[in-house]
């Protein structure tokens, strides 16, 4: 595998990198020379990712923890700092949708809480843990994950997820405004439907074809599409870019 070195000596944590978009971002950062911290809860998937990255000549370690629990994030941070040193690049990617699309009166209260906790609170807690060190060092680059579900109202979208991901956008921009004077950039990606392993299995083929028709670029996204956008925003090539919500969406949000 061709390796580039423009992130050499950078330490990058990608939360939720046992699979899906997070795994693709972690792999891309490693291919560009970063020491990557893989994170999630599925031990077998994480060690398989570590083996894959190391097999390509990259450097990776694994941490486990629930990102809805601040004490677990703090324990992860301590382990990372002892092993790889302080974090230069933080990707708060872990999250997901925890309710089915439904009329608001039918949305279970615990599904609402799970969506807000698993996306908005998790992003808040992750940044809360890692930002103080970046501020002390006066450098860092942070990326959060929103969704096209939070870029336009859609009666078919799961409302708790859309609302939580909309919160992630304002959280990102507020932190960007606070942290900018410390030399820290904070940006956000808003992907549309991405063909992760999970979505490949979950979305029936007929629905995939219908979804494609809504995209001006006539295909669904791949984890690598998101990883390329992440790599740009996290690197010094984007040194003058902060507080941006970037649609990685094949144009679907303007239709
Ligand atoms: N896929 C899409 O179409 C799409 C579109 C827009 C936005 N997004 C956003 O992009 C991000 C990644 O999505 P994905 O589709 O790649 O997800 P995925 O394939 O379901 O993987 C989710 C990852 O997050 C981890 N995770 C989730 N909740 C966690 C928690 N509480 N504590 C620790 N780890 C947790 C999982 O860890 P384990 O499996 O190891 O437990 C896994 O590594 C999410 O924020 C999602 O909302 C996805």
42-86 per-position pLDDT tens digit: 999 999 999 999 999 999 999 999 999 999 999 999 999 999 999
CA dist 84 → 26, 73, 168, 171, 215 (Å): 15, 16, 28, 28, 41
Query: From the CB of 95, is ligand 1 less than 6 Å away?
Result: yes
CA distance 106 to 132: 40
**Res 5: pLDDT:** 76
Query: Which atom of ligand 1 is found nearest the CA of 46?
Result: 40
CA distance 202 to 18: 18
**Res 3: pLDDT:** 55
Segments of 41-123 assigned E as strands: 59-64, 89-92
Determine contact, residues 211/153, Cβ cutoff 8 Å.
Answer: no
**Res 6: pLDDT:** 86
Nearest protein CA to atom 39 of ligand 1, as residue: 42
Q: Measured in angstroms, how far is the CA atom of residue 93 from the centroid of ligand 1?
A: 7
Q: Measured in angstroms, how far is the CA atom of residue 171 from the centroid of ligand 1?
A: 18
Q: Is residue 254 part of a domain?
A: no
Question: Euclidean distance between the first and final Cα of the chain, in Å?
Answer: 38
Determine contact, residues 144/168, Cβ cutoff 8 Å.
Answer: yes
Q: Is residue 144 part of a domain?
A: yes
> 3-state DSSP call for residue 128?
helix
Provide, rounded to the nearest whole percent, the portion of the chain with pLDDT above 70: 98
Q: Is residue 71 part of a domain?
A: yes
Domain that holds residue 24: 11-246
Q: Per the structure, how many domains does the chain have?
A: 1
Q: Is residue 1 part of a domain?
A: no
Q: Is residue 51 part of a domain?
A: yes
Q: Is residue 157 part of a domain?
A: yes
With the most atoms of ligand 1 within 8 angstroms of its CB, the residue from 13, 15, 16, 22 to mutate is 16
Q: Name the average pLDDT for the chain.
A: 96
Query: Which atom of ligand 1 is found nearest the CA of 198?
Result: 19
**Band of residue 2 on the pLDDT scale cut at 50, 70, 90:** very low
Query: From the CB of 198, is ligand 1 less than 6 Å away?
Result: yes
Query: From the CB of 221, is ligand 1 less than 6 Å away?
Result: no
> 3-state DSSP call for residue 3?
coil
**Band of residue 255 on the pLDDT scale cut at 50, 70, 90:** low
CA distance 152 to 147: 10
Query: From the CB of 18, is ligand 1 less than 6 Å away?
Result: yes
**Band of residue 20 on the pLDDT scale cut at 50, 70, 90:** very high
Q: Is residue 198 part of a domain?
A: yes
Nearest protein CA to atom 17 of ligand 1, as residue: 20
What are the tokens at 130? Answer: 């890692």
Domain containing 119 — which CATH number? 3.40.50.720
Judge whether residue 225 has pLDDT over 60. yes
**pTM score, whole prediction:** 0.98
> 3-state DSSP call for residue 221?
strand
Determine contact, residues 154/253, Cβ cutoff 8 Å.
Answer: no
**Res 49: pLDDT:** 98
Could you tell me which of 152, 146, 155 has the C-alpha nearest to residue 255?
A: 152
CA torsion through residues 187, 28, 67, 10, sign: negative
Q: Is residue 253 part of a domain?
A: no
Per-residue pLDDT of 86-105, as tens digits, reads 999 999 999 999 999 999 99
With the most atoms of ligand 1 within 8 angstroms of its CB, the residue from 13, 40, 46, 127 to mutate is 40
With the most atoms of ligand 1 within 8 angstroms of its CB, the residue from 21, 121, 124, 224 to mutate is 21
Q: Measured in angstroms, how far is the CA atom of residue 96 from the centroid of ligand 1?
A: 5
Per-residue pLDDT of 158-185, as tens digits, reads 999 999 999 999 999 999 999 999 999 9
């Amino acid at each position: 595998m061709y390796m580039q070195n423009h992130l050499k000596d950078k330490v990058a944590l990608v939360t939720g990198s046992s699979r899906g978009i997070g795994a693709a971002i972690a792999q891309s950062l490693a291919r560009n020379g970063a020491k990557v911290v893989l994170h999630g809860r599925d031990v077998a998937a994480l060690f398989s990712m570590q083996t894959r990255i190391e097999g390509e000549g990259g450097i990776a370690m694994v941490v486990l923890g629930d990102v809805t629990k601040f004490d677990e994030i703090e324990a992860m941070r301590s382990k990372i700092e002892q092993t790889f040193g302080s974090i230069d690049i933080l990707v708060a990617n872990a999250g997901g949708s925890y309710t089915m699309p439904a009329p608001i009166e039918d949305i279970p209260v615990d599904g609402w809480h799970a969506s807000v906790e698993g996306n908005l609170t998790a992003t808040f807690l992750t940044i809360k843990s890692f930002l103080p060190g970046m501020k002390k060092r006066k450098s860092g680059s942070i990326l959060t994950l929103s969704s096209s579900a939070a870029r336009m109202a859609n009666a078919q979208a799961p409302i708790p997820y859309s609302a939580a991901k909309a919160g992630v956008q304002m959280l990102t921009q507020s932190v960007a405004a606070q942290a900018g004077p410390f030399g820290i950039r904070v940006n956000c990606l808003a992907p549309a439907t991405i063909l992760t392993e999970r979505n490949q299995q979950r979305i029936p083929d007929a629905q995939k074809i219908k979804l494609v028709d809504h995209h001006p670029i006539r295909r669904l996204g791949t984890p690598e599409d998101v990883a390329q956008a992440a790599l740009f925003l996290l690197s010094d090539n984007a040194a003058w870019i902060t507080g941006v919500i970037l649609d990685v969406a094949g144009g679907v949000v303007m239709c």
